[in-house]
Amino acid sequence: MLDQSPIAQGSSGADALRNTLDLARLADGLGYHRYWVAEHHGGPMLAGPSPEVLIGPIAAATAGIRVGSGGVMLPHYSPLKVAESFSLLAGLYPGRIDLALGRAAGTDPLTTFALQRDRRQAAPDDFPAQLAELLAYIEDRMPPDHPFARLAGTLPGLPYAPEPWLLGSSAQSALWAAELGLPYAFADFINPAGAPIAASYRERFVDSARLASPHVAVGVWTLCAELREEAEYLAASSRWAMVKLRRGELIAVPPPDEALRNLEAAERSGLRTGHRRRAVLGTAAQVRDELEQIAAEYGAQELIIVTITHDHALRRRSYELLAAAFELEPRDALATVAEG
């Protein structure tokens, strides 16, 4: 599961964060394999600017599910600081922490600039160097003659380390993941034409100490309900929020009735409300069939499910229906986890 911590219209960011903890506990109990939280900045729709802060409370509130970033937008940060933060988490929750990394800003250019420590000029585009440095820290593979060589051995969570992933929605990210021998998570919900990119990753993959063979996860926007019509109705909330986003207008997630009225009015006025992003909507059986087709198309070993609704209870229900459809094995260890 990828949780973007959506903020429903009429609620607050704090409500959205509490919903994230609630959903994580549900995911753990239902038997989902990973729970990733996203990084977005400077908008009223998503309450997750700091995965490294949110992962700890989620891991503490759950028992067996892997918890991680989906992802950390590395250009904003010092590789050492990211390595230290995720080493700390790995030390506290051994074998459960993922560090998925992305190159995108996760926001608009103004907010990107505001996030910079040094604002005298735009930050350099040196993602490959940042990524190499970060991996050298967490894997203790810094060349002996590197000026920062001694720092790799000082990470607080040693001997434990997070599992690194590379995120992407373009051909370049697939090339980097393949060259570095990293598992690759592709955002189909951003670019639904990614199957050839995933194939390129598999073809170019270089075996490494990190990973013996290519491993693909595909992220798909999904919504399950008892009836397909209900799923399509609930998805209107996200559809309208995305229409507004494409127009540079950021809003909280609206209720579906309001979203449908706005979509219909916009269509009458000639505004294009369709978009190229794929959404898998329907009953649990319908959604499972389509998701399995997408996984086969990508040659993916894992599906990452992204779901946004205005009503948190209905988002919970969507994940419950999906877990039942895929026959996930529930975890019983939640009784030992405090829910405070």
Digit-coded pLDDT (tens) for 2-32 = 999 999 999 999 999 999 999 999 999 999 9
State the average pLDDT over residues 328-339: 65
pLDDT at 302: 98
At which residue do the structure tokens 């919504």 appear? Answer: 223
pLDDT at 338: 43
Half-sphere exposure in the Cβ direction for 64 (13 Å, CA) = 16
Digit-coded pLDDT (tens) for 80-102 = 999 999 999 999 999 999 999 99
State the average pLDDT over residues 220-236: 97
Contacts of 54 (CB under 8 A, 6+ apart): 5, 17, 20, 37, 48
What's the pLDDT band for 276 if we cut at 50, 70, 90?
A: low
Give Cα separations from 28 to 32, 62, 71, 307 (angstroms): 6, 6, 20, 16
pTM comes to 0.92
What is the set of domains in the chain, with CATH numbers?
2-223+282-335 (3.20.20.30)
Of the candidates 224, 100, 235, 114, which has an alpha carbon nearest to the alpha carbon of residue 162? 100
- Residue 219's H or E segment, with its range, is strand 216-224
**Residue 21 and residue 85 in contact, taking contact as beta carbons nearer than 8 Å:** no
Of the candidates 216, 223, 246, which has an alpha carbon nearest to the alpha carbon of residue 322? 223
